Amino acid sequence: VSEFIYGIDIGGTTIKIGLFSKLGTLINKWEINTNTTNFGKNILNDIATFIKSNEVPLEKVIGYGFGVPGPVIDTTVLNCVNLGWNQVDIKKELSTVLQNENIFVANDANAAALGETKNGASKGFKDSVMITLGTGVGSGVIIDNKIITGSNGAAGELGHIKLIHDNGLPCGCGNNGCLETVASATGLKNITCHLLNDSKKISTLKCSKELNAKMIFDAANNMDELAITAIDRFTYYIATAIQIITVSVNPEIVVIGGGVSKAGEPLLNKIINHFKNIGFSSVKDTKIVLAKLGNDAGIYGAAGMVKV
Amino acid sequence: VSEFIYGIDIGGTTIKIGLFSKLGTLINKWEINTNTTNFGKNILNDIATFIKSNEVPLEKVIGYGFGVPGPVIDTTVLNCVNLGWNQVDIKKELSTVLQNENIFVANDANAAALGETKNGASKGFKDSVMITLGTGVGSGVIIDNKIITGSNGAAGELGHIKLIHDNGLPCGCGNNGCLETVASATGLKNITCHLLNDSKKISTLKCSKELNAKMIFDAANNMDELAITAIDRFTYYIATAIQIITVSVNPEIVVIGGGVSKAGEPLLNKIINHFKNIGFSSVKDTKIVLAKLGNDAGIYGAAGMVKV
């Protein structure tokens, strides 16, 4: 009988491979390097080779879930700049070599959102949204325990909500004023640099290439007023994204993850305070919590998509 | 055998009652007055009395769907200011008298959104959003042919997206700067009055109690520059709401309805033009269309919820 599930999170640097029981318990996990040369042509082969060489025979595997850093429709990735991919149908590419048709694919932020519902901060909630604050802003919308992908795989692209309508900064997507330009690690740096250029406040910070989110949090902890103001604006923008999502899909819980969320409870409390001020009356009590699974959210969510 | 479905749209002034075939064809429709006296205590009795006196015997009815102007969870309306209601479980109130347990309830804007997918502008699309521009801004989100209600019945409350962050006008919900304050009929008037007070542009319009959306559209048609500017801003705000919803749930199609949508194709084209400028790249081609069912959308959607 088949008893195992693989959850695989393909990132631009490493591929995380998780082996799960039928019930979703993580049994073992590995990391292999992502070979992005030659338009990422070897990535799927490398994964298949790893899995075939593993001690679990293929016939014992119920199915495979994949998280990928790009938009997905069904089992097809539309494009993945980080991997060098254009359109790739992962199921089509792997079903023969893995001798399995039970293959599911999701955008990595969507997979992470599902992962947190399986074994993390949103476990037990059927409607949730996860916002991942890293270099950019990723997010995933889960309704009725399922990832919402949307008709172009763009559901949960909250990082590209146009939030700033006058003089917004350019975003990687080609627009300007996107949430991502003010609510990511880069966004916090953008806000800080703007304040440094614009105000006469004394600060220990300098707008330079080296300036990063951690330095700004540290300065705020040391009572640097400009850093405190920057973080106040930064958390207001995140709260605004939550305001929007709570009147759009009205989840039970919002999970904040990603590298920036390592700033922990103090960051979370600032977001919650802003949200209490601007949230729509009937959703003001929406739970807002920190993610729990860290880098494992992706493999949990990838495995969680597999039909048992 | 049961062959009929009732779709009932309870408004603050009238109650629309539609009799549908099993396949969703509208057979007949009626309107009765909404008796809001005594906290709307007679509304459900009036509906039951009408239905029992109708020529279709109760045992021939498959089920009943209701649209109501307030937030709904399952079959319970949480509150309806327009009807005088606090919490009312419509199924509980009516299942005995109608001898039927197959009773479904939705917010009226959500029911209208579903109605347009059943027989209107979004027919054939499984993921859609309808934005109803009237005195306020209502909306409904349909995913996989089902209404998204959210955990507090607040999904699709796009009218309460906080859009204006500095000096936003007060909204009926208690917040300020909500989409509704700038993207409804009232919102268009607000923008126009703001421009009249703020600029030195000559205009045929005056900010008075009598000023309404139709007068502003008429003035714009007569090349009144201030009116043209007001409508440009107004349609930009609507496009912004569409921008947000297309990166949140990424529907295949967005339907614009409500009284304001009677301004027709010219209004629609302005919204589309703004959206092409600010939409996230992969969703720029999302269809944006005018609603088709007018006031009948609610009864179609109410009937459409009933399990056959």
pLDDT digits (tens, 9 = 90+) for B106-126: 999 999 999 999 999 999 999
Q: Does A1 have pLDDT greater than 80? A: no
Q: Rounded mean pLDDT of A71-98?
A: 94
Residues of B in contact with A160 (CB under 8 A): 247, 280
Option in B153, B154, B280 nearest A160 (CB): B280
What pLDDT band is residue A201 in, cutting at 50, 70 and 90?
A: confident
Tell me what pLDDT residue B136 has: 92
Tell me what pLDDT residue A2 has: 76
Q: Does B54 have pLDDT greater than 80? A: yes
Tell me what pLDDT residue A81 has: 86
Q: Does B33 have pLDDT greater than 90? A: yes
Q: Does A66 have pLDDT greater than 90? A: yes
- Within 13 Å, how many C-alpha atoms sit on residue A54's CB side? 23
Residue A66: both structure tokens together: 């994949």
Q: Rounded mean pLDDT of B26-49?
A: 96
Q: Do A175 and B278 touch (CB under 8 A)?
A: yes
Tell me what pLDDT residue A126 has: 97
Residue whose pair of structure tokens reads 């060098």 in the numeric block: A84
Q: Do A282 and B153 touch (CB under 8 A)?
A: yes
* Amino acid letter, B180: E
Cβ contacts of A200 within 8 Å, gap of 6 or more: none
As beta bridge partners, residue B80 has B85
pLDDT digits (tens, 9 = 90+) for B58-102: 999 999 999 999 999 999 999 888 899 999 999 999 999 999 999
Tell me what pLDDT residue B200 has: 77
> Residues A159, B281: contact at Cβ < 8 Å?
no
Residue whose pair of structure tokens reads 């792997």 in the numeric block: A94
> Residues B252, B125: contact at Cβ < 8 Å?
yes
Residues of A in contact with B72 (CB under 8 A): none
Q: Does B195 have pLDDT greater than 80? A: yes
Residue B187: both structure tokens together: 């919102």
What pLDDT band is residue A199 in, cutting at 50, 70 and 90?
A: confident
Q: Do B154 and A250 touch (CB under 8 A)?
A: yes
Tell me what pLDDT residue B122 has: 98
Q: Does A155 have pLDDT greater than 90? A: yes
Give the residue numbers in B contacting A (CB under 8 Å), as ranges: 71, 78, 127, 141, 143, 148-158, 160-162, 165, 173-175, 240, 243-252, 278, 280-283, 286
Query: Is B121 in a helix, a strand, or coil?
Result: coil
> Residues A48, A97: contact at Cβ < 8 Å?
yes
Tell me what pLDDT residue B242 has: 98
What pLDDT band is residue B49 in, cutting at 50, 70 and 90?
A: very high
pLDDT digits (tens, 9 = 90+) for A115-151: 999 999 999 999 999 999 999 999 999 999 999 999 9
What pLDDT band is residue B2 in, cutting at 50, 70 and 90?
A: confident
Tell me what pLDDT residue A202 has: 87
Q: Do A151 and B252 touch (CB under 8 A)?
A: yes
Q: Rounded mean pLDDT of B217-221?
A: 96
Residues of A in contact with B249 (CB under 8 A): 141, 148, 150, 155, 248-249
Q: Rounded mean pLDDT of A223-231?
A: 97
Q: Rounded mean pLDDT of A8-29?
A: 96
Query: Is B19 in a helix, a strand, or coil?
Result: strand
- Taking the C-alpha atoms of residue A308 and residue B19, their distance in angstroms, rounded to an integer, is 42
pLDDT digits (tens, 9 = 90+) for A281-299: 999 999 999 999 999 999 9
Q: Does A7 have pLDDT greater than 90? A: yes
* Amino acid letter, B90: I
Q: Do A245 and B247 touch (CB under 8 A)?
A: no
Instruction: Write down the ipTM of this complex.
Output: 0.93
Option in B141, B149, B247 nearest A154 (CB): B247
Q: Do A153 and B244 touch (CB under 8 A)?
A: no
Q: CA geometry: angle at A139 spanning A22 and A185, to 5°?
A: 125
Report the run of H or E that residue A97 belongs to, with start and end.
none
Q: Do B152 and A243 touch (CB under 8 A)?
A: no
What pLDDT band is residue B270 in, cutting at 50, 70 and 90?
A: very high
Mean pLDDT (chain A, rounded): 95
Residues of B in contact with A249 (CB under 8 A): 141, 148, 150, 155, 248-249
Predicted model pTM? 0.94
Q: Do B282 and A175 touch (CB under 8 A)?
A: no
What pLDDT band is residue A244 in, cutting at 50, 70 and 90?
A: very high
Q: Rounded mean pLDDT of A38-55?
A: 96
Shortest distance, CA A145 to any CA of chain B (angstroms): 13
Tell me what pLDDT residue B106 has: 97
Q: Do B250 and A157 touch (CB under 8 A)?
A: yes
Q: Do A283 and B152 touch (CB under 8 A)?
A: yes
Mutation target among B86, B107, B244 for the A interface, most CBs of A within 10 A:
B244
